[in-house]
Structures are given as C-alpha cells and as structure tokens.
Amino acid sequence: MPVVTIQTDFTALAPDNRPAPRTAFDHALRSLLDDLFAVQPTLATQVGFHAFDDRWPDMTEAGRQARLDLIARHRAALQALDEGALSADERIDLGIVLEALDAMEFEDTELREQAWDALGLVRIAGGGFFSLLARDFAPWQHRGAAFLGRLRGLPEYLRAAAAGLSGVDGRPVSALHVHVALAQLDGVTELIDQGLAEADLRAAQDGQTEIAREMHVIEGAARGAVELFRRVLTDDVLPRAEGEGRLGPDLFASKLHHTLASDIDPEHLLARARRDYDLVRAELVRLARNAWNDWCPGQAVPESADDAVRKVLDAIALEHPQPHELIDVNRAEIELIERFCRERDVIGLPDEPLQITWTPVFMRAYGRAFLQAPGPLDKGLPSYFWITPPDENLGPAAVESYLREDNDRMNVLMAVHEGVPGHYLQGAYANRSPSLARAVFASGTFAEGWAVYVTQVLMDLGYRDNEPALMLTHWKFYLRAITNAIMDVAIHTEGMTEEQAMELMVGGGFQEQDEARAKWVRARLTSTQLSTYYVGSLEMWDLETEARRRAAVAAGASAQSVPDQHIAGGMGDTPGFDYRAHLESVISHGTPPIKWVAREMFGED
C-alpha cells in the first residue's frame, strides 16, 4: 500500500500559548525558546509548545554542534540586555535562564550522556510517544498526525542514537545502562501498539481513517527499527560497554552545581547528610522504644537499638495493601489530606484534575511513584500520579518485600509527597505563574525539596493525630531522602560498593531489601538527582526559618525566639507567622531554584 504523507499545520491546530512578548527581555526569551523548542522537540511537547510534536531531537554530531551554537548565540543576546532597564522579576528570570544555558552547555560539552547512556535514549523515545497519547492537549487530528510523524521518524532517531553510543573522552558506554535499556525497550513497542489502537478507534468512531491507514503502512518499519536498535545494543554496543557510568569526583561536582543551582560541594553535602543520618536514626530509636508495647506486646526489648527499631517497623510493615489496591488506597488518602487541609486552613487546594494510575513501562526503572504535571503551557489538563506495581515475575518474596516497604503508613506519606500538598499541588500552583522562564526552566531541587519539606509540615500540624506508627514511618521516609543523598555522592565520588550501599539502606536505614535493591540500581543509573530531595528540603527550611524570624521581629518579638531546628521542622508557633501565607508565598513564584525564591520573598541576594 503506498504511503500518502499527511501534511499537518501543527501550529494552527495547537496555537502558541506563550504570553505575547512586551519587553526587551520578553523578546529575547521568545527568540531563545523558538530555537530551543525546534532542536528539543520532545521538551517542547512536555512544556506544552506543540509546533514540533511530529519531530525527534537530532542525535548526530551536527545536532550537538547546532545546540552549542544556539546556546552561545542566545547567551550573548541575553547578556547584552541592559539590566538596569529590567524589572526585578526580569532580573531574576535572566539569572535563571543564563544558569539553564550553562547547564545545557555542560551537558553537550562535558557530560555527554547521549554518548554513553543508552537508557536515556530509550526514555526520550518513550516520552516522545507517551506525551502525545497521555493528554488531550489538542484534537486527535493534531496528536495523531504528530504520533504518525514521530513513528515515521523513529528509525532515523534510533539509528543516530545508536551511532552516537561510542563513549567519549575516556568514558566508555555504561554496561549497566545498556542492560536496563534493553529491559525497558519493550515499553516503546507497547506505546506504538497504543498509538495504533487509538488511531483505529478514532477511525471507527469519527471516520478519521487517513492517520490510521498510514500508521499501519509504516508501523513495520518502526517496529523493525526498535528491533534493530535492540540488536545493535546487544551485539555491538554491549560487548564494548564497561562499568556503571559513575562520574568520578570532578564531573560529579560540576553536574551537582548545575543540578542544584548551588555552590554546595559534594564533600559538604556528604558531611551534612551523614550528620543528619545519625540524628534521624536516634529519633527512630526513641520513637520505637515508645511504641514497643503497642507493636511488640509481651516481647522483651532487644539490647540492640537497631534491632528494636527494626522489629517495630517490621510489625508496622505487616499492615499493607495488596498490589491491586495501591491505586485506590492513594485515592482515598488524598481525599483525607484535602479534608485536613481545608479544616486546618493549611493551603489553598487546586481544582486541576489528578489521575492516579500505573507507571508507564518505559519509566519503571526510575522509581516506584512519580507525579507528572501537565506542561505549563497546557492549561486545564490532568496531572498523573504514577504508581509502579511490584514485578510479580520476581516471585512472591520480592512482591511481599515491596508491599512491606510501601505499607499502609508509607502510602499515607506517598500520597502527601506525590499528591497533596506535594508535587501535584505545587505543580498546579507553578503552572499559574506568569513567568515563562520559570515555567520552562523548572528546578527539580525546588520540586523535590518542596515535597519532602511539606510532608514534615503536615506532620508538624498533626496530620492523622501524630499516630506513633505514622511518625516512625515518616522519619524512616525522611531518612530515605538522606540516604539517597549519601549514596548519590558516595557512588559517584567514593566508589561505594553494593555491600556498602545495602548496609546504609537496609542495615542503617531500615529499608526493605526490594526497595534498597531498586534504589541501588537507580542511584547508578542517575547522578545528582537523588541529592535534590534532601538539599531542596534543607533550603525550604532555611526559607521558613528566615520568614519566621522576620515575622517575629515585625510582631515585636525577637528573631532569637525562633528556635534552631534539631533535624527538620518542629519549630512550634512564632508570633506573626502564618503558615498558609508562607506556604502559598513559596510556591507562587513557579519552580525556580530556591535561592531565587529567597530573593523574591526577602528582596535581597
């Protein structure tokens, strides 16, 4: 059957939702984004700019050089702006954009992950298809034609991606990343199946047959490209791949700087995290001893403090949902949290829709729960709270270990962290921000730090009446954020072994074996992202401490009336300090690096 190429004006079908530029900064930013979205079309789709939804990024060397030229040209234009003529908000936005350009340049000149990280290439492919199917941001005429365009372009994308997996600057292709990429590659084929099924359904319902007909003509080439990519990874790339992609001290320190938009160095971060690791473990011992008679009645308290904590947590872990109940459990918990927030006037709740569903296959290697908000330029669309189900192919023991870790109390915390007032709520507030710069160049440290921080806030405000088992699980959950940071730094800078990591997580962090094994894999697949939870939460508490001190002084009290934190939170009442006003102030500025929020709130560097 001949192919009749469908010509589609994507801009007309999904108009540009960016605010009209008015100032010199607005025009410079618009020019940058016009070029950036063209070379990063999957990013553009995620943000909600849909003129390039049928395209893939250029994975060739020419594509890399084009990105570097773009960065240099637009950096020069932005730096040429007269800062004195910019508003205070624009000066902050300029700083955010310049830091983002620096991070992009670092990726394409020093880090070069696309030359050694096969899993990241699979994630781009999966995300490029999934983002067109998951949200009704435009009519099917647009989304289906865009899916068709990406289906047609998939062979070239995968060919260039495979050709680029050559290693760089003495850094070979990571064998670990290849193995996991191969395990996740079926997720791309599943998305092709979903796209074809959607096209066939639309053809049957609405008579839109052209897209479905052409998809069926080219699907064989797309599937063949996936299988060719699989063979190239297996037969060519894997035999010359080595190791696990560990960055080493210097490269990790540079990436950490760009990820956090902070000057904190790995040594300082590691020292602070190890200190707090000991403090949280001591709190767990105290709580476990207080809860012993309720959870281990009639049993002698072990001499070992760690054994006492473990036994109480083991008893708590026996109360857990079954795999098929995980979605319903989290839906019900979010309803309870929202009721608490209304009754206590904690924070204004969003009206944007939230859907709780299973994690797409191509994303399951990265974690057990996620929140994906709609792109900031896509208005009124749902956020997705993804839950990764236990892998029943691993056997009953692994499934039970999974459920023991994500037990009834941990699901409470997961609903707070991923849902309300965590990622879902923060993402909804962020998408209301008028700042285009902060919408596009969002900070993961802000997002993850907020979710960890606000979980502690809810505990401090007495959610679920500070039930002892929940508080014990909460501090275990916070300890997980600390161990994430320790492993992140130690794996990439100190050569941490699997034995050391498991001792840190299971022996000292009281995690289940299944959770710890999954995190051991994730910590080697990623770098610096696992530090964002802990570092971001510390910076959030710094914001609150400063806000409390200023409120106290304004109310006629002393700044010294605000106590220093022992670990995190637990600060009690402060004269003049209103929690709702503070929380909404923090998240009303989009999702910028937290240092810029401090400047917005307090008016100083």
Residue 263 has what pLDDT?
87
Of the listed ranges 355-359, 377-381, 553-557, the one predicted with least confidence: 377-381
Query: What band does 2 get if pLDDT is binned at 50, 70 and 90?
Result: very low
- For residues 103 and 114, the answer to whether their CB atoms sit within 8 Å is no
- DSSP letters spanning 401-442: HHHHHT-HHHHHHHIIIIISSSHHHHHHHHTT-S-HHHHHS-
Dihedral (Cα; 200, 357, 348, 479), 10-degree rounding: -150
Alpha-carbon torsion 179, 183, 186, 187, what sign?
negative
Query: What band does 7 get if pLDDT is binned at 50, 70 and 90?
Result: low
Arithmetic mean of pLDDT, 264-276: 97
336 pLDDT exceeds 60?
Answer: yes
Residue 274 has what pLDDT?
98
Closest CA to 493 of 168, 256, 174: 256
Which uninterrupted H or E stretch holds 357?
A: strand 354-358
Return d(Cα 267, Cα 253) in angstroms, integer: 9
* 152-173 burial code (b ≥16 CB/10 A, e <16): bbbbebbbbbbebbebeeebbb
Closest CA to 131 of 187, 51, 48: 48
Dihedrals phi, psi of 133, to nearest 5 degrees: -95, -30
Residue 169 has what pLDDT?
87
**Angle ∠(374,380,382) on CA atoms, nearest 5:** 50
Closest CA to 532 of 477, 582, 485: 485
248 pLDDT exceeds 90?
Answer: yes
Return d(Cα 324, Cα 326) in angstroms, integer: 6
Which has more pLDDT, 13 or 540? 540
**CA 605 distance to own-chain centroid:** 27
Return d(Cα 234, Cα 227) in angstroms, integer: 10
Closest CA to 319 of 470, 478, 516: 470
605 pLDDT exceeds 60?
Answer: no
Residue 366 has what pLDDT?
60
Return d(Cα 132, Cα 472) in angstroms, integer: 41
Residue 3 has what pLDDT?
45
Return d(Cα 440, Cα 19) in angstroms, integer: 13
Dihedral (Cα; 265, 266, 272, 273), 10-degree rounding: 150
Distances (CA, A) of 35 to 31, 39, 66: 7, 7, 10
Arithmetic mean of pLDDT, 567-586: 96
Residue 31 has what pLDDT?
98
The percent of residues above 70 in pLDDT, for the chain, comes to: 97
Structural tokens at position 192? 């092709």
Return d(Cα 90, Cα 80) in angstroms, integer: 14
The percent of residues above 90 in pLDDT, for the chain, comes to: 89
pTM summary value:
0.94
Of the listed ranges 68-82, 378-392, 400-414, 437-451, the one predicted with least confidence: 378-392
Query: What band does 208 get if pLDDT is binned at 50, 70 and 90?
Result: confident
Arithmetic mean of pLDDT, 194-223: 95
* Residue 345: CB atoms within 10 Å: 10
123 pLDDT exceeds 80?
Answer: yes
Return d(Cα 245, Cα 491) in angstroms, integer: 10
User: At a CB cut-off of 8 Å and minimum separation 6, what does 34 contact?
Assistant: none
**CA 91 distance to own-chain centroid:** 27
Query: What band does 134 get if pLDDT is binned at 50, 70 and 90?
Result: confident
**The residue to which tokens 């019900």 are assigned:** 332
1 pLDDT exceeds 50?
Answer: no
Mean pLDDT rounded to a whole number for the chain: 94
Query: What band does 604 get if pLDDT is binned at 50, 70 and 90?
Result: low
Arithmetic mean of pLDDT, 473-502: 98
- DSSP letters spanning 493-537: HS---HHHHHIIIIIIT---HHHHHHHHHHHHH-SSGGGHHHHHH
Structural tokens at position 497? 């072994």
Arithmetic mean of pLDDT, 467-481: 97
Residue type for position 34 = D
Arithmetic mean of pLDDT, 396-412: 94
Return d(Cα 375, Cα 368) in angstroms, integer: 22
**The residue to which tokens 């921080």 are assigned:** 453
Coil, strand, or helix at residue 358? strand
Q: Write down the domain spans for the chain.
A: 266-535
Residue 6 has what pLDDT?
59
